[in-house]
Chains A and B, each alone.
Chain A
Amino acid sequence: RKEVEQDPGPFNVPEGATVAFNCTYSNSASQSFFWYRQDCRKEPKLLMSVYSSGNEDGRFTAQLNRASQYISLLIRDSKLSDSATYLCAVNVEPPDMRFGAGTRLTVKP
């Protein structure tokens, strides 16, 4: 079983839609959690960290559920510029950081 599993996608949504991604992790001792964004042929870049209390950054909301061992990312009012691949990352046993396979999002006009 992979350490981190993620919705396979792809997700194709119209502009203005709300879209949610989920990611599960297998090691209950995992300590830190992140969402990264990766544009085509580019390196991943941090989108946001995920905190136990949940956190929001503009149209993006990340949540952590330790009991069920999953993290989620909600994007509201999708923009064309949100089209990218979204990767979840889990610091399994620091500094060992594992990534999900990524979910590709395409926002269409």
Chain B
Amino acid sequence: NAGVTQTPKFQVLKTGQSMTLQCAQDMNHNSMYWYRQDPGMGLRLIYYSASEGTTDKGEVPNGYNVSRLNKREFSLRLESAAPSQTSVYFCASSSGFEKLFFGSGTQLSVL
């Protein structure tokens, strides 16, 4: 069972470069999420999508854009990467009211 798959696992960017993190789930979940995790800060919600065609800002949306391409896929884009965006990024999905299933994470470094 694949569950939630996110790519890439590791990425190094230079300041100002752009990139897109991809996420796909095969559990037919309506809701999908992007979190970032920094030491001592826990998981902070960047954006979420309650259902196909909708997206909403979380706690820390600045500097990010998202696209809910279809029910399975939810991508996160950094248009102009900054060192402050160095973090571990997790994609997750859920039915909406129940537990989240997480991808294995993307470790991003912005130099």
Q: Which residues of A pack against B, CB within 8 Å?
A: 3, 6, 31-32, 34, 42-46, 49, 87, 89, 91, 94-102
Contact = CB atoms under 8 A, between A and B. Distances in A.
Given A43-B90, A43-B104, A94 B96 contact: yes
Query: How many interface residues does chain B have, given as a range?
Result: 20 to 34
B56 A96 contact: yes
Contact of B105 (A6, A43, A89, A95): A43
B58 A99 contact: no
Nearest to B91: A43
Contact of A99 (B35, B56, B99, B104): B35
Contact of A96 (B40, B45, B104): B45
A98 B45 contact: yes
B74 interface: no
Interface in B94-111: 94, 96-100, 102-105
A32 B102 contact: no
